[in-house]
Structure 1
């Protein structure tokens, strides 16, 4: 993050160069970084075990409620409570709250020893609901609900096709590549070779992609962030509250519902993370690249990245508060995880 901010400030024209070519409103280098980041983790997923997740009648309903009812409502409340005098930033944060995470969450989940198969199912579920519900929820939280409450209303025009295209690119491509890699690798050389030879070779590229994406993202937006430090601080406050409340609340709900540690961890990170790529693209397309809404979207990952990295460590330490499983979770059986 520091390297990206420094590059954005010190290299003239770098931000314009990075933003010159875009994919669904996202800079091409960032899009490539996201694809490289997601592919190795999705290649590690054991797709023959997905049915054990889809049959879970506790995990899936909890995820839907947290992501599509509690999450947007909480961000709406925090944005109005903490930014009542800054309508542009408030609108940007509400849009961030509507964009449920389908990309970087898979890295946080993997680092925290969450359940890979559960993460694959939940981000796929989020993707479907994102296409179906994003525009409708934007209309509800920016126009309808404020009208009911006597608050300022904002219009949001966003194409369902644009959302679907973003989902297909940032989830569909790495998911298909990961599935085909495992299917063909196991068919040709067997599972033992796949998990002890191939996965250790491609696994590190997930973190390389993550680091590259962060550097490029903050190089692209470095000037906007560093030129308005007080505004960034105001935007950061509701974001910090949101990440902490969503993650901790999800961990408590998962534990109370009887989920094991890996699945509870996956539930928490998929609920707390947001699809900042989509949120930034929507804010830029609707309000302009220099708008306050776009700045709020950019500040999202500035806060999310360090907070969720910290929560990875909290999740790992929280394992002692969960019952010891009678059989090792699928993730712990994977010899390539370390």
Structure 2
């Protein structure tokens, strides 16, 4: 790991500060960038995420993808965490904090909307950034691809009914344009490009592939930092105008994120999963598909609602928190346990 990667958390912190500063100093410029979107997917951010994901997609080996079915435990862990535990713990934490612990400082209407936004985050597990976290913990790219793909298929049928049940409403509809566009931009296109690139490189010789991936690695990190600058720049006014509310919303979100991670890590140890499967499996359940959550929050409660604000706070806390979890996974890499982990370098 190079010097730049070792201090990645510092660079992200500086990118957060830069994003807020630039968003405050040049709000018009960020407003223009924010308007470049379709179906609630910002296309500028999509390009940066694509830059992050593409290097991992080049490493996808289709012959190895077929072997994932022979060791399904990591996939089962991901599905159980994402769909049988995470939405319900998020709802419980939202109620606990905003109906009881934070009740003296938040009016009932706002509290209900914040809870709704948190629930929508909990029912929308991550699609795109998982590839970035998996790459940072040296996860198995083939297994990660299958985990994300199966997760997306489950989301198609499970998102609306679980969200409707937890929100207590009947008119939750999946914004198909957001879901489909995100899947195409973040999974299909980089995967096709990666497969094509890999085939061309392997035809050139065994050294061509590692040479390209090493060359792309700095661009992947640059894409991550650029994404952080834009996300915090887009929300600079909100961050400065409502710091107290954002801090209140962040508390249960942080507890949820770390709690789900440690639950997944315990499950990985119990299942004796190898590190390259366990790491991504734990991280998938802790991050969120924020485009989907934001889109549904706006459609149900309005652009300036507390629900929309809660989903935005989820976006803001995700990258710093996920980087701290990546650091934990890498630090604990030799200590996962189990025979399968012993051969992991």
TM-score range, shorter chain: 0.7 to 0.9
Contact kept, 8 Å, 2:39 with 2:177, in 1: the verdict is: no
1:176 alignment partner, one of 192, 212, 234: 192
TM-score, normalised to structure 1's length? 0.88
Q: Which residue of structure 2 aligns with residue 287 of structure 1?
A: 301
Cα 1:137/1:167, change in 2 over 3 Å:
farther
Instruction: Tell me which residue corresponds to 2:139.
Output: 114
Gaps of 5+ in 1: 144-152, 333-338
Q: What secondary structure sits across from 2:235 in the alignment?
A: helix
Confirm or deny that 1:129 pairs with 2:145: no
1:253 matches 2:267? yes
- Distance in 2 between residues matched to 1:268 and 1:292, nearest whole Å: 29
Q: Is the 8 A contact 1:50 1:121 kept in 2?
A: yes
Out of 54, 58, 62, the position equivalent to 1:47 is 62
**Separation in 2 of the partners of 1:26 and 1:71?**
24
Secondary structure of the 2:138 match is: coil
- 1:56-205 aligned at under 5 Å gives the runs 56-84=71-99, 85=108, 86-143=111-168, 155-186=171-202, 188-195=203-210, 197-205=211-219
Distance (whole Å) between structure 1 residues aligned to residue 260 and residue 54 of structure 2: 26
Match of 1:335 in 2: none
The equivalent of 2:330 in structure 1 is 316
Alignment-derived partner of residue 9 in structure 1:
24
Partner SS for 1:203: helix
Partner of 2:312: 298
Task: Quote the offset at 1:44 in angstroms.
Answer: 2.1
Match of 1:29 in 2: 44
Runs (5+) with no aligned partner, structure 2: 1-15, 100-107
RMSD: 2.0
Aligned to 1:149: none
Q: SS of the counterpart of 1:204?
A: helix
CA distance in 2, matches of 1:62, 1:12: 43
Hey, what's the Cα distance between the residues in 2 that align with 1:213 and 1:121?
25
* Offset, 1:251: 0.6
CA 1:154–1:207: 2 relative to 1, 3 Å: farther
- How far apart, CA to CA, are the structure 1 residues paired with 2:148 and 2:303? 28
Structure 1 residues 12 and 133, CA, compared in 2 at 3 Å: closer, same or farther? same
Change (3 A) 1:161 1:23: closer
**How many pairs does the alignment contain?**
319
Structure 1 distance, partners of 2:262, 2:222, is: 28
| Post-superposition offset of 1:23 | 2.6
Distance in 1 (CA, whole Å) between partners of 2:120 and 2:150 is 19
